[in-house]
Amino acid sequence: MKRLIFTLIILAFSISFSLSQQISIQEKPPSPSWEKIIIVPNPETKLKLDLWLNKPEGSIYRVGEELKIFVRANDDVHLYIFDLTPDGDFKLIFPNMYSGNNFIKKNQTYTFPDKPTYSFKISPPGGKEFIVGIISKKPLNLFPGKRLEVLRPGESLEKNIEKALKNIERVLIEEKKEAWAQAVTYFYVQEIVTQGRVKINSNPSRAQVYINNEYKGLTPLSLILPEGSYRVLAKLEGYKDYETTIIVEGNKEKEYTFNLSPRYGNLRIESKPSGAEVYIDGVYRGKTPLTIKNLLAKTYELKLTYPGYSDIVEKVEIKEGIETRVSLSLLPAVGSLSINSSPSGAEVYLNGVYRGLTPLLISNLYPGTYQIQLRKSGYKDFISSINVIPGTTSSYNFTLIPLLGTINIFSNPSGAEVYIDRVYKGKTPLSLTDIPSGTYDLRITLSGYEEYFERITLAPGEVKQVSVNLKPLYGEVFIDSKPQGAKVYIDGKYQGTTPITLNLFEGKYSLILSLSGYSDLSTEINVKSKERNNFVFVLSPIEVPTNIYYLNFTKGTYDGNLVITKLEKSILNKEDGVYNLTIFPSGILETKIPLFKFKKILLKINFLITPDNKGVINPIFEIILNGRPITLPFAIEGREYFNVKWDITSYWLQDRENILTLQVDKKVEGSLKIKEIIIEGR
């Protein structure tokens, strides 16, 4: 059977062969208007059609290249394949007269062309081509009156694609939605365009070349263009435009040379003063007054020079067939400066050289840009650039900016509040910057201290230091007790024993009086500055209950009802007028406690020792009761000495005497200082 060549029409690309067989690709044209209606929505179907080509979707095919189509369905269905061309034609691919049976099996891949009797090869014209596949559970009459199985592949079914698509859409809508599905893919093709090379020259060269009104470059110029005729325009300043038509032949090279016709005009130049040297485009042509004939009609750079005067440079346009006249006045080559400042009296430096005080006139300066600097005590230096214009006096007026000062303020003690002209500025130490010069009222206040006042004067740019020792506001406080000799604690800090006189800042304080044998007295006192504050307190004696055994060393003797059975490496020591028992390393204190029956037994020891931040006592000694070390938790009370309390009920023997031992480790440094040991039953 005769082999059928089926040509698919796809998007055109401009392909041209130059003398070196190069190919250039033009931009793709916009998609046709009917592209958006190719897909007929059918969201309810379970049928699926896979449709693809022998190149990825959107690929470019060259003219003559072979195209293959592949399909696969997920069910046994009837298959229809159509070709949509960009020029508006709707063509048949499958079924056709060579393959009339369009029933395909599920999950099998079919290739088209499916018989050797026809093939698909790419040919122009170009465009974007769509391949549309439709499957259905039963045969469809998509084009009434046309039997697809008797038509040739590539035969036109409808010249209007939109009309064909709407016809198919109408047929599919009438079918059950679950009985059909659709798939689409697309591709592009290149077109070949024959090109030729053309060389364009001009006499003189450097002419601007326009091809069909588009600028291409300067002569001599070599271009590669598609074959055809072109309108050429050559333009060169001073010459007449040259227009002509050239022919570009495919795969050939042609050369054109254009002789440009000059345009002439005359130039008349006069100057004040006369005799100035004339330069045209940098070439000396004579002195003014001067007439230059037969200049090319274009724009020139005209320069006039004369000794003692500034050069003049201007653009002059020469027009064809007429005389252009230019009359120029040269300016003297020096100028003057008038410099003023506010305030006046500033030193003036021009390019670093001192020239005098403002107001100042400086004459006979060469034209140009100068650096000016103005200086005046108490003001910021002013630096700028100024211009000297020949033949004129340039006036400049400058306003100087005063220097700002700094005030550094310190107080002893620090943390005092600072006020400048009654406005709060912060706390000492304080640095106030960018302060204008002038006189200010400074006030410094701190609770408990006398207020400080000073009037200060700040000069421009001055850094002033103010250091103030604030005077405290004391009150005299007399504290006594009955009986006397009680320890005095102010806000927890030991001050001495009654009677005592103290100087305290104005304010409220916590007062504790402590005397052995008497209950501690705790109260609050109010101290007023510059006054004598008298406080006398009567202490209440402590009655020793019968359920307490104790040893007290504060009177310089062994006072109490506990029996000392062993005492080694220990002495009675006096510190700050108060006695304590000092036990040195390896020292031992052993006491015997008579029969003592209570539900709860507490051990209290008043001694000088420091616990760590977790409340654990540095283990410089051991407390042993009846041979058992006491390791139970304890509580810390007290102020100067520590009152440490243990619950020792579980260690206590209710039916016999108890032995309490304090033993200092021999490896420790320092000693253990004890004021009192108490065994309390509850």
Contact 658, 648 (CB under 8 A): no
Domain pair 474-537 / 548-681, same fold? no
Under CATH, domain 474-537 is a member of which superfamily? Carboxypeptidase-like, regulatory domain (2.60.40.1120)
Q: 247 versus 126: which is more confidently predicted?
A: 247
How far apart CA 274 and CA 306 sit, in angstroms, is 9
Domain assignments of the chain as residue spans, ordered by start: 4-189, 196-256, 264-329, 335-399, 405-469, 474-537, 548-681
* Across 294-302, average pLDDT: 91
Under CATH, domain 264-329 is a member of which superfamily? Carboxypeptidase-like, regulatory domain (2.60.40.1120)
156 to each of 35, 91, 536, how far by Cα in Å? 18, 4, 128
- Enter the pTM of the model: 0.32
Classify domain 196-256 by CATH architecture: Sandwich (2.60)
Whose CA is closest to 78, among 94, 97, 98, 54? 94
What sign has the CA pseudo-torsion 9, 26, 208, 196? negative
According to the model, what pLDDT value does residue 24 have? Answer: 32
According to the model, what pLDDT value does residue 633 have? Answer: 57
Does domain 405-469 fall under CATH 2.60.40.1120? My reply is yes
According to the model, what pLDDT value does residue 228 have? Answer: 81
Choice among 335-349, 537-551, 576-590 with the minimum mean pLDDT: 537-551
CA torsion angle for 647, 651, 657, 659 (degrees, to 10)?
-90
**Fold adopted by 335-399:** Immunoglobulin-like (2.60.40)
Partnered with residue 131 across adjacent β-strands are 83, 185
Question: For residues 383-419, b (16+ Cβ closer than 10 Å) or e, as one string?
Answer: eeeeebbbeeeeeeebebeebebebebbbeeeebbbb
How far apart CA 497 and CA 485 sit, in angstroms, is 5
* Across 624-653, average pLDDT: 74
The DSSP secondary-structure symbol of 469 reads E
What sign has the CA pseudo-torsion 356, 360, 363, 368? positive
pLDDT in tens, 392-438: 899 999 999 888 889 999 999 999 999 999 999 999 999 998 888 88
According to the model, what pLDDT value does residue 21 have? Answer: 29
Q: Which two tokens stand for residue 551?
A: 């040893």
Q: 642 versus 176: which is more confidently predicted?
A: 176
**Domain 548-681 -> CATH class:** mainly beta
